[in-house]
Amino acid sequence: MSVAMPGKDRSTPTVGPPVAVPYRPTHARLGWRAGVVAAAGVVALAAAPFFLAPYATTTLTRMLVFALLAASLDLLVGIAGLPSLGHAAYFGVGAYAAGWVAAHGTPAAPVPLLIAAAAGALMAAAAGWVAVRSSGVFFLMLTLALAEVIQQLAESWEPVTGGSNGMYGIPAVTAAGEALTNVAYLHWYVLLWFLVGLLVLWSLSASPFGATLRGIRDNEPRMRAIGFPPFRYKLAAFVAAGAVAGLAGGLLAAQQRLVTPADLGFTTSALALLAVVIGGSGTIWGPCLGAALVILVRDSLAPSLGGRGPLVLGLVFIVVVYALPRGIAGLRRSRRERQPLSKAGERDE
């Protein structure tokens, strides 16, 4: 269906016929440079156990688990614009599910993780169904309230979750029959599933589904006018983020072999949020850097300050909010956007 257009009068004289440049969505274009950086990162992470001391590798593994949680939160906060202050609940539920399956069902490799992701998704669906109706600060408060209820459940449902002592003595994950207790094997196991989780998140964010979420975040009335039902998309985003958080919880159970109500608590959610803000929301990979920084501060710096860890964290909170309005990733992106747009040319990555 094309229509002959009568003469166009527009102020900007166009040189020759206007070049109809084929359309390619801006955010999905991954320049080759970003691809190379990502590949290098994965190789470095995989090689880590060879040249890092055992404890450093364990710390790195813990960073990966937390990074996946932060990345899943970023799908909600950065892409869908839903500020959740209770995302650790689905992380914890996944961890408990994985731990329970490993102890009572089978610790064979993928089973506990898949159950964890399913548990996270299920809990997120139930909570999301209520939470997603509200927006802004009410959503923030509702997610906080739901997370506190879930945490209280973990604390008082003693027979299953082990109550306030937590679920301890989770059997090690077995891959092809052999228990992964060696630090390096565990690291690779976590790295593999971290990449799977990250890939899922990245593909969601770069796909039309992600574009829709961004649209709903920026201009919900317009999206409704086009025909996107916002409630269903927000709920889908909440469940997807809950599933990946559950997966991260499964990795926590595999790595630390202990799950306590504190893992579901407000502090964990706030730290994950800090990681997203430090890393730069909306980029999925940004919060992973943020998570590494947060774990570094919490686990290595804090103890050496003689118990004044929370003071350090408090100061980091304040500094980050002022100094890095758009996080580490933001630094890179704002440089790119300041480039003048060529008339009809491609914006280079």
Residues 216-235 that bind other proteins (CB under 8 A): 218-219, 221-230
Q: Which stretch binds other proteins (CB under 8 A): 8-16, 100-108, 116-124, 187-195?
A: 8-16
For residue 3, state whether it binds other proteins (rule: CB under 8 A): yes
Stretch that binds other proteins, among 31-39, 106-114, 185-193, 211-219 (CB under 8 A): 211-219
- Output the DSSP codes for 299-317: IIIHHHTTT-HHHHHHHHH
Contacting other proteins (CB under 8 A), which of 19, 34, 37, 47?
19
- On whether the CB atoms of residues 200 and 244 are closer than 8 A, the answer is yes
d(CA 310, CA 270): 12
**Interaction with other proteins in 288-347: which residues (CB under 8 A)?**
298-299, 302-303, 306-311, 313-318, 320-322, 325, 341, 344-347
Residue 111 interacts with other proteins (CB under 8 A): yes or no? no
What is the 8-class DSSP label of residue 10? Answer: -
Binding marks (x or -) toward other proteins, 114..133, rule CB under 8 A? ----------------x--x
Please state the closest distance from residue 22 (CB atom) to other proteins, in A: 5
Residue 156 interacts with other proteins (CB under 8 A): yes or no: yes
Q: Taking Cα atoms as reference points, which of 232, 118, 105, 229 lies closest to residue 170?
A: 105
Query: Which of these segments, 39-47, 107-115, 148-156, 186-194, binds other proteins (CB under 8 A)?
Result: 148-156
Q: CA-CA distances (angstroms) from residue 336 to 11, 75, 286, 288, 329?
A: 29, 22, 16, 21, 11
Count other Cβ atoms within 10 Å, centred on residue 201: 24
Considering the rule CB under 8 A, would residue 106 count as an interface residue with other proteins? Answer: no
- For residues 128, 130, 131 and 133, what is the CA-based torsion angle, rounded to 10 degrees? 110
Q: What mask, x for binding other proteins by CB under 8 A, covers residues 20 to 39?
A: xxxxxxx-xxx---------
Rounded Cα–Cα distance for residues 67 and 271 (Å)? 11
192 binds other proteins (CB under 8 A): no
Dist. CA 105–CA 301, nearest whole Å: 38
Beta carbons within 8 Å of 235's beta carbon, 6+ residues apart: 125, 128, 129, 132
The residue within the footprint of other proteins, chosen from 49, 62, 98, 102 (CB under 8 A), is 62
Using CB under 8 A as the binding rule, whether residue 277 contacts other proteins is answered as: yes
| Smallest gap from residue 176 Cβ to other proteins (A) | 19
